[in-house]
Amino acid sequence: MDLKKLNNNQKAAVEAVDKPVLIFAGAGSGKTRVLTFKIFYLIKKGIVKPEEILAVTFTNKAAEAMKQRVAVLLKNNVQDMNIGTFHSICAKILRNEIRHLGFSKNFAIYDRTDQISLIKIIMAEINVSKNSVMPKIVRNKISFYKSQLIDPKSAMKSANTLQDKIMIDIYKSYNNSLKENNAVDFDDLLNFPLEIFNNHSRILSKYQKLWKYILVDEYQDTNKAQFLLVKMLAEKHRNICVVGDDDQSIYGWRGADIRNILDFEKDFPECETFTLENNYRSTNQILQAAQSVVRNNTDRVDKDLLSVNGEGDLIGVIETHDEMEEADAVINALQKEIKMKKRTFNDFSVLYRTNAQSRALEDSFRRNAIPYKIIGGTRFYERKEVKDVLGYLRLIVNIEDTISLRRIINFPPRGIGLKTVDKCFIQSVKDNKKLFDVLKNPEPMKIRGKQGDSLIAFHKLIKKYNQLLSKLNASELARALVEEVGILKFYKRQDNLEDNDRYDNVLEILNSIDEFMDRKPEASIADFLEEVSLLTDIDEWNTDENYVTMMTVHSSKGLEFPVVFLTGLEDGLFPLSIALNEKEIMEEERRLFYVALTRSQEMVYLLYATDRRRSGSDSWGGIASRFVKEIPENFMENISFSSAMTRKIVKTKTGAIKMKIKRTITTFDDFKVGDLVEHTIFGEGKIMALSGSGENQRVGVAFKDGLKKKLIVKFAKLKKIS
């Protein structure tokens, strides 16, 4: 068997198969390669059959990449292998076993938006004001309870404040409502299999026999439920291999427990431990700088990573005045990288600690006509018009899903107002019927005329397509439904740009169902909805498109870029102020900084501002992050930058002190149509249109490669070609 592509440590880890295996895989050390070769090795050696392997990852993208790599090694189709995320594997278990908890197998999976909608309904029912507790906070608290396997009864025992008690009351009602709607949330996907396994040993035994070898990626990010799940499944054969890096444990805030990987040897005392220390991603300068920071943590296993890519360039450190100058500094450095090293836009990533930091960066990128994409913005499947289509599909699959019903009962508008829906809900409680079932007979609710007719028509429509589920494939059914409901017609007749986009998005969701059916011809609408429910931001990240990627450091986990800009490096922002007096939080913030640095393959720029505007006011006296100071000076070089802005401290009429910022006026060429010009990034081009003069001049330029850009002269740095 050809394992020559592996280094000695990787090879040894792959060949260890008769005991529990723990692999500490430092950043960029080839952990995915080890996992895929291990699956290949297990099958080729005949140790287990392909269907007896369970491989668990944290993103769909990682799962798909692993499948593809294994397929190449085996020269075989592995689509039926059990390789997926925790949530997708658990969803598969629940489709078969959830009846034991009183749910039907066509259950809906509620995302964050659905959860908040349900919580708002519950709060209204029990007369809890949104002013006393925010629905988003309630949702996060419920998720925390569930990640720690704390039920409402147990939570109430430790409730100290009135607000805690209110939240737990909502939590109890929320769980009841989920069951009434035949729906689960993401935490339930993990917790319910545990509940079933604990109460039905026969079912647990079935899956223990089915999966004789278990592999878990990113083990440092597992929470309590995930830990217990893999431990239970591995209990019979003790054939488990976990891979992770304690230095990249960054999800403690959502329940991940670093102790799971640090204590693995206690849970499986017979295990063999391997450490992968050859880094194949970053230069040695980046790697050594990152390690020098993370070594200040105490809860970790020491590693000595060494790059195979040579020393590389020093890390650039740029001090700026404020967030606007910081954004300009990013643009300036990016332009130099493109000009000097012939890079493309997708070579760059701009990272920040909080989403709010993107605003100034976006402004600067737009001014300079540089294409960018925010990872973590409004995702396609979260757009209103897309969720409306999904709402229809979810309701015809699961007519008990009242959140979807409420969403689409009056879209497109059919004269059914909120008061009418409330009447229907009250009647359903009174008659002990499903909300959907009371729609077919509005008479007892004294709903007559057009509204009554609309309710009956809506009920018939949904019932019709519910009965067609077994007769039409997913594509046929979705297109027929959208056509009959009139969603496309609704957006078509609005005749504005926003609704044109929504029209296109509805067509795109139909296309996505077509593509899904091409991949899985035997799949159903329910299968499609499940796949969509489990998608993440990173799954939609596309390296083939040419744009600068902007995202939070958390979103960057698992990705890599030739050049990384890490912005907002001030104490109080990164690390967050909440971490300054909390050791555990500070260590997680330090690990997050380590993750940020190790996303880079070739070059890192660290930027901080001395006066960043925070929460609508000026914050004075910002100091560089302690993490920057923890990097030895010999790994860094200071890069000076000064933007074309002047700042002056002035007093307002009320006596308040304010900083007045003004862009410095410089002289610009007065361009004319037909002028040949050169742009730092886009190269040579010809001016085809213009307006204004001096620094306010705007030009339309056609560049040599066919690219057309509208540019503001004062930002574009155009030069005439003589």
Per mean pLDDT, which range of 317-321, 361-365, 559-563 is the poorest?
361-365
**pLDDT of 644:** 55
CA distance 571 to 593: 12
Tell how strand 645-651 and strand 657-663 pair up: antiparallel
Give me the half-sphere count of Cα atoms (radius 13 Å) on the Cβ side of residue 40. Answer: 22
3-state DSSP assignment of residue 214:
strand
DSSP state of 572: B
Please indicate whether residue 440 or residue 77 has the higher confidence score (pLDDT): 440
Find, among 604, 36, 6, 556, the residue nearest to 284 by Cα: 604
**pLDDT of 620:** 45
For the residues of 618-674, what is the DSSP string, one character each?
EPP---B-HHHHTS-GGGEEE-----SEEEEEEE-TTS-EEEEEEEPP-------TT
Find, among 247, 328, 307, 288, the residue nearest to 565 by Cα: 328
Helix runs in 107-200, H state only? 112-125, 135-147, 152-157, 162-180, 186-199
What does residue 214 show for φ and ψ, rounded to 5 degrees? -120, 130
Most confident of 241-245, 339-343, 660-664: 241-245
The DSSP bridge partners found for residue 658 are 650
Find, among 27, 509, 75, the residue nearest to 284 by Cα: 27
CA distance 538 to 375: 7
In the set 97, 111, 187, 217, the catalytic residue is: 217
- Please determine, for residue 449, whether its predicted confidence score (pLDDT) is greater than 60: yes
CA distance 322 to 2: 55
Find, among 388, 377, 379, 382, the residue nearest to 506 by Cα: 388
Given a contact cutoff of 8 angstroms between Cβ atoms, the answer to whether 595 and 556 are in contact is yes
- Please determine, for residue 618, whether its predicted confidence score (pLDDT) is greater than 50: no
Q: Which residues have CB under 8 Å from 649's CB, separation 6+?
A: 657, 658, 659, 660
Query: Considering the entire predicted model, what is its pTM?
Result: 0.73
Is 31 among the catalytic positions?
yes
Extended beta strands in 335-461, E state: 348-352, 372-374
Is 248 among the catalytic positions?
yes
**pLDDT of 223:** 92
Degrees (nearest 5) of the Cα angle 481, 434, 101? 100
Please indicate whether residue 541 or residue 718 has the higher confidence score (pLDDT): 718
Mean model confidence pLDDT for the chain: 86
Mean pLDDT over 159-182 rounds to 91
Find, among 504, 506, 503, 531, the residue nearest to 517 by Cα: 531
At 2, the pLDDT band (50, 70, 90 cuts) reads confident
For the residues of 512-547, what is the DSSP string, one character each?
HHHHHHHH-TT--HHHHHHHHHT--TGGG--TTS-S
Angle of the 86-97 helix axis to the 186-199 helix axis, nearest 10: 50
Tell how strand 600-609 and strand 315-320 pair up: parallel
Is 217 among the catalytic positions?
yes
**pLDDT of 615:** 42
Given a contact cutoff of 8 angstroms between Cβ atoms, the answer to whether 263 and 232 are in contact is no
**pLDDT of 93:** 95
Most confident of 141-150, 508-517, 648-657: 141-150
Please indicate whether residue 363 or residue 164 has the higher confidence score (pLDDT): 164
At 538, the pLDDT band (50, 70, 90 cuts) reads very low
- Please determine, for residue 658, whether its predicted confidence score (pLDDT) is greater than 70: no
**pLDDT of 676:** 87
- Please determine, for residue 55, whether its predicted confidence score (pLDDT) is greater than 90: yes
Q: Percentages helix, strand, coil for the chain, rounded to the nearest 5?
A: 50, 15, 35
Give me the half-sphere count of Cα atoms (radius 13 Å) on the Cβ side of residue 179. Answer: 12
DSSP state of 313: P
The DSSP bridge partners found for residue 109 are 184
CA distance 86 to 84: 7
In the set 32, 275, 536, 610, the catalytic residue is: 32
Q: How far is CA 428 from CA 104, 317, 416, in A?
A: 20, 64, 17
Please indicate whether residue 81 or residue 120 has the higher confidence score (pLDDT): 120
Per mean pLDDT, which range of 347-351, 380-384, 388-392, 552-556 is the poorest?
380-384
At 694, the pLDDT band (50, 70, 90 cuts) reads low
Mean pLDDT over 313-336 rounds to 91
Cis amide prior to 50 (ω within 30 degrees): no
pLDDT tens-digit map of 559-601: 999 999 999 999 988 998 889 889 999 999 999 999 999 999 9
Is 291 among the catalytic positions?
no
Mean pLDDT over 293-309 rounds to 92
What share of the chain in percent tops pLDDT 90? Answer: 46
**pLDDT of 161:** 86
Is 281 among the catalytic positions?
no
Per mean pLDDT, which range of 127-141, 269-283, 550-564, 626-640 is the poorest?
127-141
**pLDDT of 196:** 97
Mean pLDDT over 650-664 rounds to 54
**pLDDT of 101:** 96
CA distance 67 to 83: 7
Q: Is 486 left (phi over 0), alpha (psi -120 to 50) or beta?
A: left
Q: Is 30 left (phi over 0), alpha (psi -120 to 50) or beta?
A: left
pLDDT tens-digit map of 214-255: 999 999 999 999 999 999 999 999 999 999 999 999 988 878
Contacts of residues 81-84 at CB distance under 8 Å and 24 or more positions apart, as own/partner, are 81/39, 81/50, 81/51, 81/53, 81/55, 82/51, 82/53, 82/54, 82/55, 82/211, 83/53, 83/55, 83/57, 84/55, 84/56, 84/57, 84/60
pLDDT tens-digit map of 188-207: 999 999 999 999 999 999 99
**pLDDT of 212:** 93
- Please determine, for residue 613, whether its predicted confidence score (pLDDT) is greater than 80: no
3-state DSSP assignment of residue 426:
helix
Q: How far is CA 614 from CA 174, 355, 607, 663, in A?
A: 36, 13, 16, 21
In the set 208, 248, 420, 697, the catalytic residue is: 248
CA distance 276 to 188: 34
What does residue 638 show for φ and ψ, rounded to 5 degrees? -80, 130
Q: Which residues have CB under 8 Å from 537's CB, separation 6+?
A: 375, 376, 379, 551, 555
Q: Which residues have CB under 8 Å from 265's CB, separation 6+?
A: 22, 271, 273
**pLDDT of 616:** 38
- Please determine, for residue 667, whether its predicted confidence score (pLDDT) is greater than 50: no
In the set 146, 212, 406, 599, the catalytic residue is: 599
- Please determine, for residue 536, whether its predicted confidence score (pLDDT) is greater than 60: no
**pLDDT of 645:** 55
In the set 114, 187, 218, 588, the catalytic residue is: 218
- Please determine, for residue 537, whether its predicted confidence score (pLDDT) is greater than 50: no
Tokens at residue 394, please? 């979810």
- Please determine, for residue 172, whether its predicted confidence score (pLDDT) is greater than 60: yes
DSSP state of 276: E
Given a contact cutoff of 8 angstroms between Cβ atoms, the answer to whether 657 and 651 are in contact is yes
At 665, the pLDDT band (50, 70, 90 cuts) reads very low
* Amino acid (one-letter) located at 368: N
